Amino acid sequence: MKILLVRPHPRLPTSQWLQTMLLLEPYAQELIAGAVQPPHDVRICDLAVQKQPLKAYRRMLMEYRPDLIGFGGFSGQYLINRELAGLAKEILPGVLTCLGGIHASSYPTDCKAPELFDLVVRGDGVSAIKTILKAIDSGQSLPETDWILPTSSPNFDRLAVKPPPPLHPDGINTRPRRDLVDISKYFCICYGEPNQKLKTLFPRIACVRTSVGCPNRCSFCVVHFLANGKYLQRDIEDVVDEIASLPQEYIYFVDDETFINAKRMWRLAEMLIERGVKKKYLSWARSDTICRHPDLFALWKKAGLELVYIGFESLEENNLTEYNKKATPSQNRKAREILRNLNLNIHAALMINPDFAKEDFEIVHKTIEELSPAEFAFTVLSPPPGTEAFAAARDTFICEDPCLYYDCLHTILPTKLPLKTFYRYFSILYGLGAARIPPRINRVRVPVRDFIKLFRGGIKLGWQLHRMYRDYDRKHW
């Protein structure tokens, strides 16, 4: 059987922009491909790297003529996945199509489209592909469980509303098939250390997953809904072997939350140092974890940690309580100080509530001052598709299909300020943040072409955000 795994291109201009600054490998597709054994054949079609994605996709369909196509992606990409599946059914009428990934996992009822997708998969695609191929190989009908849902089944609606299935350990113990993609296409943005001269701001990068899930329950996040508070951890010997085998210098940990188990992360850093693995790492970490284990981050600095993504969300107690962040403003401040003292760069994620008035935006201006230098990202509080919070907010959504706008930059809830004003203030935040990124403050020297790319990218994003209100019906402006 010939299997094609498709990563769709981004649909929303904001996600297209993000991709010019940071583009990671199609790790989910590589992992799923890692589970496909001969005589089956597998290929990956990464449309995110294509200048003309639809043309490239058509050509792939005509030349490879797959028997099974797997689509995956974010909620904001669901519409594109529908288009791609429609094209596949038109060109290859007998093809079996399967939709997985974050949107299918969290909101399967939204994905019931039997004319486009034969199967909807919730959760780990590695276990799913193994189960599907086993059924096909033994001549059985397609599996039907609470995580592999045939869309034509009369049981679909009943199974799709069940709570998400438990995490499957297969996905975490599989090695990705990086040989199926052109690894030279994937890069991140990294800022170096004070006074350093960088060869590039956009080095090549690989993804590595060391865990899945998260025991925390932040109100805006879908992870605890999907993982039900569970945290699966991969054998660290295997993580070290994988990292040591990679040609890329930079590694992005695509865990939901990497530093939950401090003892394990301590051992992982020690093992990387003992083995002489010289890489640079980017990872998410919570501020309370950093405050509890400053020595762990000092050790990771030695192991090569370079950029830490922190969901600070806010420096205001009331906001952190509302988001159920379980971290305090003083922990946020302390975590920033610990990382700065270690010369670690910070990506500061701050949450903007649609309820914000002008004064709240002004408070965020002060927060930017306090947390700088950092790479700042501001997201608009939006209930994740498929969750109870999303269902509860249904009557208030200001866009017809909120999932299509789910990039955490488009609000899906009504704003207190008129939309036009809200986005004017929102785009100002990005402008203020851009003036406080680490290379400027740290006096890092970067190649002129990279600086121009960054500068032009910043102007483009600012303009997109400023005009974002136009994506909504005029009555909301």
125 binds, among ligand SF4, ligand B12, none (CB under 5 to 8 A by kind): ligand B12
Among residues 150, 164, 171, 458, the one that binds ligand B12 under rule CB under 6 A = 171
How does strand 41-46 pair with strand 2-7?
parallel
Q: Taking the mean position of all CA atoms in its chain, how far away is CA 477?
A: 29
Residues whose CB falls within 8 Å of the CB of residue 292, separated by 6 or more in sequence, listed in order: 262
C-alpha distances in Å from residue 475, one per residue of 27, 242, 399, 424? 41, 53, 11, 17
What residue is closest to ligand B12 based on CB? 100
373 binds, among ligand B12, ligand SF4, none (CB under 5 to 8 A by kind): none
- In whole angstroms, the minimum distance from the beta carbon of 108 to ligand SF4 comes to 20
- C-alpha torsion 63→64→69→72, nearest 10: -70
210 binds, among ligand SF4, ligand B12, none (CB under 5 to 8 A by kind): none
Q: Which residues of 369-403 are buried (b: 16+ CB within 10 A; e: fewer)?
A: eebbbbbbbbebbbbbbbbeebeebeeebbbeebb
Q: Does 76 engage in binding with ligand B12 (CB under 6 A)?
A: yes
C-alpha distances in Å from residue 184, one per residue of 181, 204, 205? 9, 7, 9
Contact 306, 345 (CB under 8 A): yes
Residues that bind ligand SF4 (CB under 6 A): 214, 216-218, 221, 223-224, 256-257, 286, 311
Residues whose CB falls within 8 Å of the CB of residue 354, separated by 6 or more in sequence, listed in order: 380, 381, 411, 413, 414, 415, 416, 422
Nearer Cβ to ligand B12 (17/472): 17
Q: Does 446 engage in binding with ligand B12 (CB under 6 A)?
A: no
Nearer Cβ to ligand B12 (81/372): 81
Nearer Cβ to ligand SF4 (213/373): 213
Contact 251, 280 (CB under 8 A): yes
**In the structure encoding, which two tokens stand for residue 147, read together?**
């995580």
- In whole angstroms, the minimum distance from the beta carbon of 26 to ligand SF4 comes to 21
How does strand 205-208 pair with strand 250-253?
parallel
Q: List beta partners, residue 377.
A: 349
Q: Provide the edge-to-edge strand list for the sheet that holds 2-7.
A: 41-46, 2-7, 68-71, 96-99, 119-121, 148-150
Distance CA 389, CA 102 (A): 17
- In whole angstroms, the minimum distance from the beta carbon of 324 to ligand SF4 comes to 8
Count of chain residues binding ligand B12 (CB under 6 A): 43
454 binds, among ligand SF4, ligand B12, none (CB under 5 to 8 A by kind): none
C-alpha distances in Å from residue 291, one per residue of 283, 325, 333, 374? 16, 15, 10, 18
422 binds, among ligand B12, ligand SF4, none (CB under 5 to 8 A by kind): none
Interacting span for ligand B12 (CB under 6 A) from 65-73, 265-273, 324-332, 438-446: 65-73
149 binds, among ligand B12, ligand SF4, none (CB under 5 to 8 A by kind): none
Q: Does 384 engage in binding with ligand B12 (CB under 6 A)?
A: yes
122 binds, among ligand B12, ligand SF4, none (CB under 5 to 8 A by kind): none
Q: Does 254 engage in binding with ligand B12 (CB under 6 A)?
A: yes
Per-residue 3-state assignment (H helix, E strand, C coil) for 64-86? HCCCEEEECCCHHHHHHHHHHHH
8 binds, among ligand SF4, ligand B12, none (CB under 5 to 8 A by kind): none
Interacting span for ligand B12 (CB under 6 A) from 66-74, 134-142, 241-249, 447-455: 66-74
406 binds, among ligand SF4, ligand B12, none (CB under 5 to 8 A by kind): ligand B12
Q: Does 411 engage in binding with ligand B12 (CB under 6 A)?
A: no
Is residue 203 exposed (0-12), middle (13-18) or buried (19+ Cβ within 10 Å)? Answer: middle
Among residues 103, 234, 280, 301, the one that binds ligand B12 under rule CB under 6 A = 103
Nearer Cβ to ligand SF4 (82/209): 209
Which residue blocks in 92-140 are alpha helix, DSSP H?
A: 102-106, 125-137
Interacting span for ligand B12 (CB under 6 A) from 133-141, 219-227, 319-327, 457-465: 219-227
Contact residues for ligand B12, defined by CB under 6 A: 10, 15, 18, 22, 24, 27-28, 31-32, 70-72, 74-77, 98, 100-103, 105-106, 121, 124-126, 128, 171, 207, 209, 221-223, 254, 256, 379, 384-385, 406-409
